[in-house]
Structure 1
Amino acid sequence: MGVAMRRAGRGERDLVVALLDEAFREDPVSSWVFPGEEHRRARHAGLMGAFTDITFDEGYIDLAEDGAAVALWMDMPGDPHVEGDPHTEGAPHTEDEQDEQGDDAAQLRAAVDPDNERVEQIARLTAAAHPVGRAHVYLWMIGVRPGRQGEGLGTALMAPVLERCDREGLPAYLEASNARSRALYERLGFVFTGTAVELPGGPTMWPMWREPQGS
């Protein structure tokens, strides 16, 4: 569609955070994590900043050249000790992994919004739903500026990584946070794993898995 995409650098952190804040502030999941518009405006960018910093440390961020869309990616290693097909059955997390996830979730809450247990809840729930076993690429977040949604920017931003997945035989994984994004991901070959993440008293998230596509 003629939109140039490139890898973001750490010097563009503020741009990435502002874009994610704008793209997700009215998302159903963000509205659940930070109920009340005033509270959300005060704390939401902090959560997006934490996600951005983690991704710069452990993954990579792709950005539309015009700053209208951004995607946070991580390459997840496989675990040869886990058997089964994690995208359909859900491989169990070990006790050590669960403890580590709990520590990470608690640290995220402390850093972003200490009095808000929902920050920790969503981190724990999504971590528990994340499949283990096979190496895969994880699309943590993809955001498009509200005024530019519907132009195909998200698809264009994902295309190079999905092409790499197909070329290297890698699955991909994500959690869709609303019905519109789920429909987009289904068109790109993602399939609902069958076990939703039900936020207590809030919206549903759909974990989705994509097998590498043949030529």
Structure 2
Amino acid sequence: MDMGIGQKIRQAGESDREALERLVTEAFMDDPVSTWVFPDTEQRRAMNAPFFGVFIDTAFSEGRIDILEDGSAAALWLQIPAGEPDGDDDTGARMRAATDPDNERTEIIPRLTDAVHPHDRAHEYLLLIAVSPEHQGKGLGRALVAPVLERCDREGIPAYLEASSERSSRLYERLGFAFTQKPIELPDGPQMWPMWREPQGG
């Protein structure tokens, strides 16, 4: 599917893992939340791939990953059913084990986001969008999520995400997302913004 950006969007598979790890490493080097988790630049460059790799694993096993054919951008999605999830989420523990067992910040983010994640209605959950730095600001993120949001509108399904920067929250507002409540406050760190999108049109 070509969304007017000169290249096609396809669903990623396991053969794309190395490219995805390179992409998240570079895409989140200057991200406020990633910088808070790993303040040291060299550690962040080494840890971004295994840290976000937990999300990649989850999307491969439980959701989907849409990627541009040149690998410059990707979006990770999960379909969340209505109702409280069964059992405890071990995402934070896996992130800590995969990166730095001495860094408790690796576990804080999933714990805080889980606490506010709505579960009363089934929805599409955008785990993250990663766009390589040299292509940011060109509309690739918008193009990547547009097909899923169009399907949400056709099928009457809401969508949810947590924005990790004010810049990204403004993009999501233009796509129809709205803030659900007060921001998530990371201890001595930046904010994250839970955002919900009702199906539109029709």
For the criterion TM > 0.5, the same-fold answer is: yes
Q: Is the 8 A contact 1:8 1:63 kept in 2?
A: yes
Give 2:25's aligned amino acid: D
Residue from 22, 46, 65 that aligns with 2:69: 65
Whether the 8 Å contact between 2:24 and 2:48 is mirrored in structure 1 is: no
Q: Does 1:179 align with 2:183?
A: no
TM-score normalised by L of structure 1 = 0.88
CA RMSD in angstroms, aligned pairs only: 1.5
List per-residue Cα deviations over 1:82-133 (Å, max 9, x = no partner).
xxxxxxxxxxx68x75xx13x4422331232211100011111111121111
Q: Distance in 1 between matches of 2:82 and 2:106?
A: 27
Aligned to 2:38: 34
Percent identity, aligned pairs only? 59
Provide closer, same or farther for how the CA distance between residues 50 and 107 of structure 1 changes in structure 2, counting only shifts above 3 A. closer
Alignment-derived partner of residue 77 in structure 1: 81
Structure 1, unpaired ranges of 5+: 80-92
Q: Residue 12 of structure 1 corresponds to which residue in structure 2?
A: 16
Instruction: Name the CA distance, whole Å, in 2 between partners of 1:16 and 1:38.
Output: 19
Secondary structure in 1 aligned to 2:45? helix
- The residue number in structure 2 matching 1:90 is none
- For the residues of structure 1 that align with 2:24 and 2:45, how far apart are their CA atoms? 13
Structure 2: gaps of 5 or more residues: none
Kindly provide the CA deviation profile for residues 21-50 of structure 1, in whole angstroms up to 9, marking residues without a partner as x.
110121000000111112212222111222
Normalising by the residue count of structure 2, what TM-score does the alignment of the two structures yield? 0.93
Q: How many residues align?
A: 198
Structure 1 residue 207 corresponds to structure 2 residue 198: no
CA distance, structure 1, for counterparts of residue 170 and residue 150 of structure 2: 19
Task: State the AA in 2 paired with 1:6.
Answer: R
Residue 58 of structure 2: aligned partner: 54
Could you tell me how far apart the structure 2 residues matched to 1:212 and 1:170 are?
6
Equivalent position of 2:148 in the other structure: 161
SS at match of 2:193: strand
